[in-house]
Amino acid sequence: MKGSSLTIGIVATVATISFIVGLTLALTLAMGAFTFEQLVFSVAAAGAIEFSILVVALPGTFRATVSLIGALLSVAVLFVLLTAPFVAVIQVIVYAGAIVVLFLFVIAYMGERPLAAVADPLVRWQPVAWLVIVVLAAQALVVLLTTDLAVRDELQEGGTVATPGGENPDFGGPEAIGRSFIDDYIVPFEATSLVLLVAAVGAVLLAKRAVQLERGR
């Protein structure tokens, strides 16, 4: 168990570094110039993908959860790069803070226990799962590479659309998001509050029921 985690860690580190270097080079070539932003992006992207793989690949739930923190933070960096500082902050606070902590609590409560030793009833489907993922990845590549996303960039270079931070310095800031919620998306906003309420009530009920069951034993 420990050995395999170590192996995974070493492979991951090597892969990450090479990924960063490769990605930065590729971006530099593609955009025709090297900027600091590209480097940050490369690091964050590599982190996101790397930690994601770790989440799925690591055998223990605790390690996986810690890896998830890495992935979440990497995504937060990506958000910052995308001029979404508010979302990035929330990502860190809610996700990396609250949600992951919740995971850790549960894991701490239950203890790291191995998977029940029963045969996988779906072992025949394992290759199918891989195949499906490959097919979907291929599809995504096909779609992304055949879609001309550069159109929008050209428009901006022509100066027809104001660059963010120019006319709208608050882009991605709390005020803009708040206005968007209140002005345009009041119903979804209220709906989310309802969802949260239901979740809270549901959690309480579940916990209560579980406690009762435990007493009943």
Is 21 among the residues that bind other proteins (CB under 8 A)? Answer: no
Q: Which of residues 131-150 bind other proteins (CB under 8 A)?
A: 132-133, 135-137, 139-140, 142-144, 149-150
Q: Smallest Cα–Cα separation from 80: which of 33, 50, 48, 32?
A: 48
CA 100, CA 63: separation in Å to the nearest integer? 12
Sole binder of other proteins in the list 106, 108, 186, 190 (CB under 8 A): 106
Sole binder of other proteins in the list 8, 15, 90, 92 (CB under 8 A): 90
Q: Which of residues 42-61 bind other proteins (CB under 8 A)?
A: 45, 48-49, 52-53, 55-56, 61
Q: How far is CA 126 from CA 4, 72, 139, in A?
A: 21, 27, 20
Q: Which residues, 6+ apart, have CB-to-CB distance to 78 below 8 Å?
A: 41, 44, 45, 48
Q: Between 1 and 149, whose beta carbon lies closer to other proteins?
A: 149
Is 7 among the residues that bind other proteins (CB under 8 A)? Answer: no
Q: How far is CA 157 from CA 64, 151, 160, 182, in A?
A: 43, 10, 8, 32
Q: Which of residues 157-216 bind other proteins (CB under 8 A)?
A: 157, 161-164, 171-172, 176-177, 179-181, 184-185, 188-189, 192, 195-196, 198-200, 202-203, 206-207, 209-210, 213-214
Q: In this structure, what token pair is assigned to residue 168?
A: 């709208």
Sole binder of other proteins in the list 17, 125, 186, 190 (CB under 8 A): 125
Burial state string for 54-63 with b = 16 or more CB within 10 A and e = fewer than 16: bbeebeebeb
Is 14 among the residues that bind other proteins (CB under 8 A)? Answer: no
